[in-house]
């Protein structure tokens, strides 16, 4: 997993994220709209205070992007986040839907500055992030049994 996230990809992710306004209501709204258009079921997880949750998500991504070259710092954070998301009904398939909405938001926000190289780097980074999140969150037992 980590071997595919090389320094060049990390630099592409960091440079593109620096161009995003991850603290703006506009970015949060766009991300939420994209998520809703992709999958209303997953978007419903953001129903209560959706813009606030979307802003929190973008702020969390800011932290994660800053730590991509330090996976030892990411593991506890992403494990805790993974456990919290599971409690709210988020599973691995939902993570992929959120990832697609994130890539779409980046593309819409950055336009031509979001190149195929950036998109590829983000896809690898997102896979790396969700891999840690799932692995570190441990098994959970929910309404559908162990997940």
Residue 120, pLDDT score: 96
pLDDT tens series, the chain, 147 aa? 445 899 999 999 999 999 987 667 777 777 777 776 766 666 566 566 666 777 777 788 889 999 999 988 989 999 988 888 787 777 777 788 888 888 998 999 899 999 999 999 999 999 999 888 888 877 654 443 444
The residues near 14 (Cβ < 8 Å, ≥ 6 apart) are 65, 66, 68
pTM for this model (two decimals)? 0.80
The token duo for 25 is: 């209501």
């Amino acid at each position: 997993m980590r071997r595919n996230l090389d320094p060049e990809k990390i630099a592409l992710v960091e440079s593109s994220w620096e161009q995003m306004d991850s603290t703006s209501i506009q970015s949060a709204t766009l991300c939420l709209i994209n998520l809703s258009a992709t999958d209303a079921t997953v978007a419903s997880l953001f129903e209560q205070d959706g813009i606030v949750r979307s802003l929190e998500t973008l702020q969390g991504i800011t932290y994660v992007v800053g730590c991509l070259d330090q996976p030892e710092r990411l593991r506890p954070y992403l494990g805790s986040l993974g456990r919290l998301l599971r409690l709210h009904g988020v599973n691995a398939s939902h993570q992929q839907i959120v990832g697609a909405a994130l890539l779409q938001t980046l593309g819409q926000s950055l336009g031509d500055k979001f190149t195929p190289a950036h998109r590829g780097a983000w896809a690898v980074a997102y896979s790396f992030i969700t891999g840690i999140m799932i692995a570190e969150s441990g098994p959970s037992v929910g309404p559908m049994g162990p997940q």
